[in-house]
Amino acid sequence: MPFSPKPHAALLIVGHGSTENPDSSTPYFDHAKKIRERGVFSEVHCCFWKEEPSMREALYMIDAEEVYIVPDFISEGYFTQDVIPREFELDGPTTKRHGKTLHYCGPVGIHPSMTSLILQRTSEVAPEVPPEETTLFIVGHGTGLNKNSTKAIKDQVELIRSLPENKFASVQDTYMEEPPFIADWSTLADTPNVIVVPFFIADGLHSYQDIPVMLGFEKEEGLAASQKDVFRNNPYHLNNKTLYYSAAIGTDPMMANVILDQISTFDATHAIAHH
């Protein structure tokens, strides 16, 4: 749906951030910059749980009285359901607090437009590969901590499988820390070609180091994450298969559109009109 500009409102993108990996906040600032350049909000800011500026400080940076808060997270879970509402003192989809009206949108990763983003990414990373001879793996962290993160990935797999235009021989959800394990990719795939898309917002240690080791084309120790060429060396030839490895889905420039889509969905769901 086309995005209706909100010249009187601010957008606040909330990310996890990291105390260990300075690169992890880059995608959030990239998404903010892209949206800022479109001029559809009066202000666009980022804030983080593990980095500055913090959520508690964020509202003091904003002049606008109406603020859309969008969690740049892959799934519903502890952060979107507990941490962010607590930090901003939210009491529902729309909260009036500190002289501002705060609209709390859903996380980007559960929006249906993520599906077309994944498919676009597969055609970019493996442009000449016939999908009929290809297995697509979407990889998540997988852990007992948050069932919703696995749900977000299972939902994407179901959506892609159900698309009339889907031609992949197989589309499967896999995880780093629970079965089906991405480390078992070569037995899970019956096809000569495999595409692996990490379902994370940022290219952190998971996509640079952990998953490549599990896939078998990187050794345990190595360069700092940002010096690796794991995404530029495609394809990899392993176990009699041809493997294409994508950067984390959240690094895609089109994520800016997903953020705006999530806001449009919020407005439609909660019947918010702008004059």
Q: Is residue 221 part of a domain?
A: yes
State the pLDDT at residue 221: 57
Residues 80-121: pLDDT tens digits?
999 999 999 999 999 999 899 999 999 999 998 999 999 999
**Which residues constitute the domain of residue 40?**
6-109+253-269
Look at residue 271 and tell me whether its pLDDT is greater than 80.
Answer: no
Distant-in-sequence, close-in-space partners of 230: CB < 8 Å, separation ≥ 6? 207, 208, 212, 217, 218, 245
State the pLDDT at residue 34: 96
Look at residue 243 and tell me whether its pLDDT is greater than 80.
Answer: yes
Look at residue 232 and tell me whether its pLDDT is greater than 90.
Answer: no
What is the average pLDDT value for the chain, to the nearest integer?
A: 90
Is residue 79 located within the same domain as residue 121? no
State the pLDDT at residue 89: 96
DSSP letter at 107?
Answer: P
- The pTM of the full predicted model, rounded to 2 decimals, is 0.87
Among 40-44, 48-52, 63-67, name the one with the lowest average pLDDT. Answer: 48-52
State the pLDDT at residue 1: 65
Look at residue 151 and tell me whether its pLDDT is greater than 80.
Answer: yes
Is residue 121 located within the same domain as residue 216? yes
Type of residue at 88 = F
CATH number at residue 216: 3.40.50.1400
Is residue 140 located within the same domain as residue 13? no
Is residue 191 located within the same domain as residue 242? yes
Angle at 110 between CA 81 and CA 103, to 5 degrees: 55
